[in-house]
Amino acid sequence: MSYLGARRVLDLEGTIPPVGGYLFAGHLTDGAPPAAGASTLTLGDLTIAGAILPGRGGTDSPDKPSFVFAGGYGWRTLLPAPGASWSSPTSVRLSTVLGSLAAICGESFDAPTEAKLGPSYGWAAGVRGRAVLADLVARSAISTWRVDPKTGRTTFAPWSTLGPADAHGRIEDRMLAFGGREVALDNAVAAWLPGATVQGVTIARVVFRERAQELRAEVWDA
């Protein structure tokens, strides 16, 4: 049984990937469409911080209002003209670039270890914020980027090692040739985040689905 804020969820589907933000879409049991803005999505013992996106749902009806809930969606922002550029004889600092980028994209982050980007750095107008983050990864200024489900903030650290999740669900299908398993879940949902293991394999990506009050996860090792 899942909740968006304090409201019951009728059905949902969403992915928590190894890199980047997460995105869920679904329907509530009744009432008006949910208001856009900061909220939480609760799946069993897992509470995910994020935001309800405005105008992103499907067709609403009084008995099936839709929603889209995301973490890190602001990094998809198209960066405006005239772009941005910095130069410094002692090297442009990573903190300067991330601070400016996050302000434009409306995202918060946990500061990584400071890094130097060279005598100049910038981006062109019209690229997306996440493309700049990917460029910083390619330059080894950050090792990765992802949104922490517990806080909704962007972090530049890999997923934590969570240990075996095997005892917290029932494996009902195996797609081992593709690195996947389908698991029926009860209340212990937080055990199945990326960084956990199942049958000795580390989980990289999780797809959650709820239908008819039955919650399942597809877990993938890539």
Distance CA 89, CA 22 (A): 38
- What pTM does this model have? 0.92
Strands 169-175 and 205-211: unpaired
pLDDT in tens, 163-201: 999 999 999 988 887 889 999 999 999 999 999 999 999
Distance CA 2, CA 72 (A): 21
For all residues of the chain together, what is the average pLDDT?
94
Residue 61's pLDDT band (boundaries 50, 70, 90)? low
Query: What does the DSSP assignment read for 50-77?
Result: EEEPTT-S----TT--EEEEEESGGGGP
Q: What is the pLDDT of residue 210?
A: 96
pLDDT in tens, 133-155: 999 999 999 999 999 999 999 99
Tokens of residue 217, six digits:
């996860």
Backbone angles phi, psi at 137, to 5 degrees: -65, -45
Strands 205-211 and 214-220: antiparallel
